[in-house]
Amino acid sequence: MNASGARLGAITKELRLQWQQTKEVWTDAKSLEFEAKYLQELFPAADKTVAVIEQLDKLIGKIRKDCE
């Protein structure tokens, strides 16, 4: 499960970098609208999801250890 969290984190980081590069060229009102509509919610949600996946991975590890 932790691999999924790491992958999501890496993909989100890459998307942030790509968006920063895109914003340098795409500077009209539609770019601001796109960022507000999609990315301003996506990035924090992805970060929270990664944190939750890490917590779940720790919990599953503890459960496994307790069941041994």
pLDDT tens, residue by residue, 12-38: 999 999 999 999 999 999 999 999 999
Q: What confidence category does residue 2 fall into, taking pLDDT thresholds of 50, 70 and 90?
A: confident
Domain count, the chain: 1
Q: What confidence category does residue 10 fall into, taking pLDDT thresholds of 50, 70 and 90?
A: very high
Residue 63 one-letter amino acid? I
Share of the chain above pLDDT 70, in %: 99
Nearest to 8 by CA among 57, 58, 48, 59: 48
* Domain around 38: 2-67
CA of 22: how far to CAs of 18, 42, 57, 63, in Å? 6, 17, 34, 44
